[in-house]
Amino acid sequence: MAYRNLAKTALRTLGPTAPSKRQLSSQASQLEAKRSDSLPSMSSFHPLTDVTSNKYLYSYESEVKESFDQIVPVLKRVSELQHEQNFVDHAQQLTMAELGFALPTHVLEKAWVRPLDMRGLFSWSVFQAYKKSSDNFFACDPLKGGEQSIEARDFESLLQDCGFHLLDVTPCADGRLAHSIAYVLRIPFSAVRRRSHAGALFDVEQTVNRWVKTEHHRYRQGGGNNAHSPTSYLKIVTYHFSSVDPSHQGCAAHGSDDSVAASAGLQRLYDFREAIENSFCCGASVDLLLIGIDTDTDAIRVHVPGADSSMSLDSWVSALEIYEETQFMEKEEALKKISQRVQECAPSKPETGMVAFITHLVANNISQIDYVRQFHAGLYSDAGHAERFIGVGIGFKEVHLRNLTYFSHLDTVEEGAPDLDVGVKIFKGLNVSRDLPIPVVIRFDYSGRVPGAKERAIADCRRVDAAIAMRYRELVADGLLHTFLTIRDRDQKAPAEAIGSSLDPSLQEAH
């Protein structure tokens, strides 16, 4: 996460809802120059690039982000109307037409007596935009990664062929990694367990519990595959760095030092494996993989493990180099070259399945490299943070867009406060500095098959909401932090359900 130097880079990272052209600093002009160097002609896609997927992925990305980014211009027009006759009706017509939802009448109706609560309306609109995109995600599977999709089934079978029965990925909580699964690695979201953490430093004990659940599922009901198949649980950590501005836009949790980020990730992976090996008998172990992501180009580098799971921090296979090396080859030839490069990078002879799996990931990532070249001029213009909201709690299976959400996966604010504080700090730079509030979506998924679980998820939302209101009481008192409470039955395909908000009329009156 890069929250440092927010002030310095404010011009480049205009924030989540900046609607118009970005004003470029001199630093940004250099970036622009770099970008055009690396820009390919539109016809020069890599032979392995999936042009069709890139199209629908871009259409989804631009559509969802547009729904957030048009909020400020529309609200500016609403603000201009506030002293007109029939203001409430006009405002509602305008937002319905432009944003597709109505604004809260109890807020609009106060316009005659005091200035319109634009912070409240902004938060409300962000929550509605989130809700619409979340509903659409569960209804239409726009990323074609749902459980029933051909893509998910194909991937599951590839995973097993490579020797793995579960894929568990920890990216950084940073919003610039939120698209790691569906875009950067092109993995169907339903075929992977994702749990983001600041600095990608996942919780060892929780991951051991997840491993136990996975193994139990295989023993009891052949989940993943039969427990006696010689496959492994594969744990991946993805750290990140910035090729354009390495010392400022890397991972803040590791001081923007990519070697520190990589080595901390690797240590956590080794700790996890040691925990499994020490705690369980009969040769229990897991497979590990460390991947670096360049947040400017989305190109990955993979620290290929030897068969003994040892990895080197200093050697990796670079998707960008492979892209260049193979861009004029035939598909088959390119894939062979990738596989060869992967094998060369391992500190000792790697497992065949692992080589095949990494080859697949690198090939997938080539599509993403072309995606960034085609649709983002080779380098993202938002090199820094530009998240639209903070997502707090357990869930958010539907969030897969870069810089849409800063994740704070937590059960309690008491435990998750360090991650959440970082998110709030980022949003002070992005929003509060512009007099806009921090929109926080709270989410607790539950299992509808467990009696009382829904009621407990609701209680969890309210508990975390109260803890946030306590921890950030000054922001809340100033209307600079709003919350939206949602739950979701993870056993169903239904969308998330909204159960409350700091903008509810009763709460607003109590202020």
Check residue 450 for interaction with a copy of itself (CB under 8 A): yes
The residue within the footprint of a copy of itself, chosen from 11, 24, 204, 260 (CB under 8 A), is: 204
Residue placing its CB nearer to a copy of itself in the complex, 284 or 498: 284
Residue placing its CB nearer to a copy of itself in the complex, 218 or 482: 218
Check residue 208 for interaction with a copy of itself (CB under 8 A): yes
Q: Pairing relation of β-strands 405-409 and 481-489?
A: unpaired
From 240-248, 325-333, 339-347, 405-413, span contacting a copy of itself (CB under 8 A): 405-413
Residue placing its CB nearer to a copy of itself in the complex, 413 or 480: 413
Check residue 220 for interaction with a copy of itself (CB under 8 A): yes
Residue ranges in 222-241 that form contacts with a copy of itself under rule CB under 8 A: 227
Q: Among candidates 137, 138, 188, which has minimal Cα distance to 167?
A: 188
DSSP string for 283-327: T---EEEEEEEETTT--EEEEPPPTT----SS--EEHHHHHHHHT
Gap between the Cα atoms of 174 and 26, Å rounded: 26
From 104-112, 129-137, 274-282, 308-316, span contacting a copy of itself (CB under 8 A): 274-282
The residue within the footprint of a copy of itself, chosen from 243, 280, 325, 381 (CB under 8 A), is: 280
The residue within the footprint of a copy of itself, chosen from 29, 157, 209, 433 (CB under 8 A), is: 209
Check residue 455 for interaction with a copy of itself (CB under 8 A): no
Specify whether the CB–CB gap between 229 and 223 falls below 8 A.
no
Residue placing its CB nearer to a copy of itself in the complex, 230 or 451: 451
Check residue 279 for interaction with a copy of itself (CB under 8 A): yes
* 174 flagged as catalytic: yes
> What number of chain residues touch a copy of itself (CB under 8 A)?
36
Q: Among candidates 374, 396, 353, which has minimal Cα distance to 484?
A: 396
- Give the bridge partners for 289, in sequence order: 236
CB-count burial class (<10 Å; 0-12, 13-18, 19+) for 191: buried
Phi–psi pair at 113, nearest 5 degrees: -105, -25
Q: What share of the chain is helix, strand, coil (3-state, %, to 5)?
A: 50, 15, 35
Check residue 215 for interaction with a copy of itself (CB under 8 A): yes
Check residue 458 for interaction with a copy of itself (CB under 8 A): no
Residue placing its CB nearer to a copy of itself in the complex, 44 or 267: 267
The residue within the footprint of a copy of itself, chosen from 52, 451, 506, 511 (CB under 8 A), is: 451
Least distance from C-beta 265 to a copy of itself, angstroms? 14
Helix (H, G, I), strand (E, B) or coil at 451: coil
Least distance from C-beta 213 to a copy of itself, angstroms? 6
Residues belonging to the chain: 511
Check residue 206 for interaction with a copy of itself (CB under 8 A): no
Catalytic residue among 69, 174, 287, 460: 174
DSSP letter, residue 40: P
DSSP string for 370-429: HHHHHHSTTS-S--S---SEEEEEE--TT---TTTEEEEE-S-HHHHHHHHHHHHHHHHH
From 216-224, 343-351, 358-366, 379-387, span contacting a copy of itself (CB under 8 A): 216-224
Residue ranges in 406-445 that form contacts with a copy of itself under rule CB under 8 A: 411-415
Q: Among candidates 482, 434, 475, 472, which has minimal Cα distance to 128?
A: 482
The residue within the footprint of a copy of itself, chosen from 467, 485, 487, 496 (CB under 8 A), is: 467
From 85-93, 168-176, 275-283, 382-390, span contacting a copy of itself (CB under 8 A): 275-283
From 119-127, 147-155, 210-218, 351-359, span contacting a copy of itself (CB under 8 A): 210-218
DSSP letter, residue 183: I
Check residue 140 for interaction with a copy of itself (CB under 8 A): no
Helix-helix angle 331-345:352-375, to 10 degrees: 120
Other C-beta atoms within 10 Å of 83: how many? 11
The 8 Å CB, 24+ separation contacts for 471-479 are 471/413, 471/417, 471/420, 472/424, 475/424, 475/432, 475/437, 475/438, 476/502, 479/117, 479/119, 479/120, 479/437
The residue within the footprint of a copy of itself, chosen from 84, 147, 154, 274 (CB under 8 A), is: 274
Least distance from C-beta 166 to a copy of itself, angstroms? 14
Q: Among candidates 56, 35, 53, 316, which has minimal Cα distance to 185?
A: 53
The residue within the footprint of a copy of itself, chosen from 33, 113, 150, 282 (CB under 8 A), is: 282
From 23-31, 53-61, 206-214, 312-320, span contacting a copy of itself (CB under 8 A): 206-214
From 236-244, 370-378, 447-455, 481-489, span contacting a copy of itself (CB under 8 A): 447-455
Phi–psi pair at 394, nearest 5 degrees: -125, 115
Buried b / exposed e over 84-97, threshold 16 CB at 10 Å, is eeebbebbbebbee
Residue placing its CB nearer to a copy of itself in the complex, 81 or 208: 208
Q: Among candidates 421, 441, 427, which has minimal Cα distance to 485?
A: 441
Residue ranges in 105-134 that form contacts with a copy of itself under rule CB under 8 A: none
DSSP letter, residue 197: B
Task: Catalogue the active-site residues.
Answer: 174
| Positions in the binding site for a copy of itself (CB under 8 A) | 204-205, 208-209, 212-213, 215-216, 219-221, 227, 270-271, 274-275, 278-282, 284, 411-415, 447, 449-453, 456, 463, 467
